[in-house]
């Protein structure tokens, strides 16, 4: 039986008609740049995130880069972030002129450990960038007051966590609601995925909104007038149409992922060598990834592959150990929680369209490998 890590063809089959209803008018109208679907998606994602504005951009990467460019870093300015994330988190800090400062993560959620962030603040710190990894939010109730105490903006990397929420001081807060600016990625494999690269920034900070909107179109909103040097990073109208068609399904897709995760947690409980993922009780997780920790990971992966089961490792090399960041002085042993996780994490298929038989096949493979 084949169980890929993700089955986008299965998703597409369920929504083909809805997609075509949104996409065909764009093709017929030939309005490919900043057409109405872009404006509609910006408003819809801002509303979902309890933010005032949405600004569609070319990718989740640019959704981080543009808000950081708006912070006008000076040489030596530091941004505290997680080493256990996709490369873009720190790559954009560098490309915006900042210096990533990696601190260790919480061993259960893999998100920034607020105590480590507090200990890393220096007079050169200019921002904090939490990553809401795998679909659950970082400890915003600790990070936001810490940032406020030092007058620091918070840029949320919510590329994996659109629609996730967390109880902060007793009230549900959305990914994108509390930070100064937040990036969502619509890379095709995300819970809300386009037909190519796409991303969106949400913010409730008026000056941030104006800067990001301007930076998106070469630093000027009036044709041929440029107040600053920006980028070409518009969200494509066709992508916006695809995403608008998919958006009404996002909540049920994420709920189906959550249900699959709960099923796997039960089915894998007690298997020696396997730890199932922890959800912080304050979080509503959207399970962009379902990540277990396992003994003998590479052998298990090979065993599952032979059975037709796709798996993936996010992330095998922490960012402080990447060759390109050697100049920052990261060394093995510096961030032990993150380094230990990097050796043991394994993402299993959790996509909403999985059948009962497919889920059972994954569990049988894992149980068979460990003789459980
Ligand atoms: C945590 C994280 N940050 C940033 C990105 C960058 O997003 P994109 O691939 O849309 O540029 C991604 C997704 O790939 C991500 O998972």
pLDDT at 362: 98
The answer, yes or no, to whether residue 96 has pLDDT greater than 90, is yes
Which residues line the pocket of ligand 1, CB cutoff 6 A? 59-61, 85-86, 88-89, 131, 157, 159-160, 185, 187, 197, 199
pLDDT at 371: 93
For atom 4 of ligand 1, the residue with the nearest CA is: 88
Atom of ligand 1 at shortest distance to CA of 88?
4
Assess contact for 47 and 206: CB atoms under 8 A: no
Q: State the pLDDT confidence band at 372, using cuts at 50, 70 and 90.
A: confident
Looking from the CA of 343 toward its CB, the CA atoms found within 13 Å total 9
Assess contact for 201 and 165: CB atoms under 8 A: no
Sheet bearing 155-157, strands edge to edge: 53-57, 199-203, 181-185, 155-157
First to last CA, the chain: 21
Please give the distance, rounded to the nearest whole angstrom, from the Cα atom of residue 159 to the centre of ligand 1: 5
| 3-class secondary-structure state, position 280 | coil
Nearest to 180 by CA among 204, 160, 150: 204
**How do residues 79-90 score in pLDDT, each as one tens digit?**
999 999 999 999
**How do residues 340-352 score in pLDDT, each as one tens digit?**
999 999 999 999 9
Q: What percent of the chain has pLDDT over 90?
A: 99
pLDDT at 110: 98
**How do residues 220-256 score in pLDDT, each as one tens digit?**
999 999 999 999 999 999 999 999 999 999 999 999 9
Q: How far apart are CA 290 and CA 136, in angstroms?
A: 11
**How do residues 32-42 score in pLDDT, each as one tens digit?**
999 999 999 99
Q: State the pLDDT confidence band at 135, using cuts at 50, 70 and 90.
A: very high
Atom of ligand 1 at shortest distance to CA of 160?
16
Bridge partners, residue 101, by sequence: 80
Q: How far apart are CA 184 and CA 182, in angstroms?
A: 7
Please give the distance, rounded to the nearest whole angstrom, from the Cα atom of residue 368 to the centre of ligand 1: 34
pLDDT at 125: 98
Please give the distance, rounded to the nearest whole angstrom, from the Cα atom of residue 134 to the centre of ligand 1: 11
DSSP 310: -
Helices (H), 194-335: 206-216, 237-246, 250-267, 297-306
The answer, yes or no, to whether residue 92 has pLDDT greater than 90, is yes
Q: What is the pTM of this model?
A: 0.98
Pocket test for ligand 1, best of 6, 86, 235 (most atoms within 8 A of CB): 86
Assess contact for 260 and 285: CB atoms under 8 A: no
């Amino acid at each position: 039986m084949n169980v890929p890590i993700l089955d986008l063809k299965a998703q597409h089959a369920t929504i083909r008609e809805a997609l075509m209803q949104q996409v065909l008018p764009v093709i017929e109208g030939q309005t490919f740049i900043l057409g109405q679907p872009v404006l509609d998606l910006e408003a819809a994602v801002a509303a979902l995130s309890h933010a005032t504005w949405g600004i569609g951009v070319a990718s989740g990467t640019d959704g981080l880069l543009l808000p950081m460019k708006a912070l006008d870093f000076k040489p030596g300015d530091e941004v505290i972030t997680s080493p256990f994330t996709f490369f873009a988190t720190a790559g954009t800090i560098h490309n915006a002129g900042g210096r990533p400062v990696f601190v260790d993560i919480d061993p259960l959620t893999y998100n920034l450990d607020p105590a480590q962030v507090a200990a890393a603040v220096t007079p050169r710190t200019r921002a904090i960038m939490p990553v809401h990894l795998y679909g659950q939010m970082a400890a915003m109730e600790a990070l936001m007051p810490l940032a406020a105490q030092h007058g620091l903006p918070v840029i949320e990397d919510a590329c994996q966590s659109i629609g996730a929420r967390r109880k902060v001081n007793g009230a549900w807060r959305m990914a994108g609601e509390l930070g100064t600016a937040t990036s969502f990625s619509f890379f095709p494999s995300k819970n809300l995925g386009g037909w190519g690269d796409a991303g969106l920034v949400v913010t409730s900070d008026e000056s941030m909104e104006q800067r990001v909107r301007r930076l998106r179109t070469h630093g000027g909103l009036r044709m041929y007038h440029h107040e600053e040097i920006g980028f070409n990073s518009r969200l494509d109208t066709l992508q916006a149409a695809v995403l608008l068609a998919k958006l009404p399904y996002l909540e049920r897709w994420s709920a189906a992922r959550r249900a699959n995760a709960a099923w796997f947690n039960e089915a894998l409980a007690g298997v020696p060598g396997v730890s199932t993922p922890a959800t912080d009780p304050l979080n509503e997780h959207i399970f962009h990834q379902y990540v277990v920790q396992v003994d003998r990971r590479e052998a298990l992966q090979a065993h599952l592959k032979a059975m037709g089961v796709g798996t993936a490792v996010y992330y095998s090399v922490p960012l402080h150990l990447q060759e390109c960041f050697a100049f920052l002085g990261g060394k093995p042993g510096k961030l032990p929680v993150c380094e230990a996780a990097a050796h043991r994490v394994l993402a299993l298929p959790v996509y909403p369209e999985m059948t009962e038989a497919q889920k059972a096949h994954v569990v049988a493979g894992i149980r068979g490998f460990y003789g459980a």
